[in-house]
Amino acid sequence: MELSDQLIAAAMVNNGRKALLVRRSAKVSPVELHALAHHELGVHMTTSLNAQLQPLEVFSLGLPGATHTQEGLAIFSEYLSGNLTLKRLKSLAQRVIAVDLMIRYGDFCRTWRTLVEDYGVEHEEAFRVCTRVHRGGGFTKDHLYLSGFRDALQLHRSRDIRGLFIGKTGFEYLDLIDDLLARELLAAPKYLPVCLEQPGQSAPELDYLVACIR
């Protein structure tokens, strides 16, 4: 683990250094700390390590749709472990709104004002969300978290998804990955999120809201 003054997010995995970077000023609750562990280590780090065991480097570089899949699996891991909170779910939804506003208007102040005035987001949190999506002239990655979570959850309810953890994969390639694993042309994932075998439990209200995501 390394402390950093350069992060907007509370934490992130540096794949090249195999290190977990944590924002020096980050303040999180015990539940948020466990969620971060399941998100960053349980998914991003494990898929990075598994990718290095594959005969094809593309699983380290990332298949098409890898970001959508990675972030979806990471939020799914938070949820399955019982550490996804209502606050976190609202934050993910706010990011989708902010990305939409950024694309349509490209105005940091308008995005911030809409979050605060129309959605009741606290000033500091609204600023943090705006900074995430307006950085570098516009960064749309944050709209993938919620839709990726939805897709990961739906897939998990219908089939075994362990093949997605062999590296930086894509949801749409799971059939092909499973076939290559069965033929022993790819290495089975050595590292997997703990929550796949030992799932936690979420509040009924959160389960209901998650089921409503479209």
What is the residue range of 29's domain?
A: 2-211
Res 7: pLDDT: 63
Burial of 196 (0-12, 13-18, 19+ CB in 10 A): middle
Banded pLDDT at 32 (limits 50, 70, 90)? confident
Strand pairing report for 19-23 and 11-14: antiparallel
Res 30: pLDDT: 83
Residue 100: how many other CB atoms lie within 10 Å? 15
- pLDDT tens digits, one per residue of 155-198: 999 999 999 999 999 999 999 999 999 999 999 999 999 999 99
Least confident of 19-23, 66-70, 133-137, 182-186: 19-23
SS3 sequence, 84-95? CCHHHHHHHHHH
Res 8: pLDDT: 59
Res 42: pLDDT: 94
Q: Work out how many domains the chain is built from and give that number.
A: 1
Mean of pLDDT over the chain: 92
Question: What pTM, to 2 d.p., does this model score?
Answer: 0.89
- pLDDT tens digits, one per residue of 83-95: 999 999 999 999 9
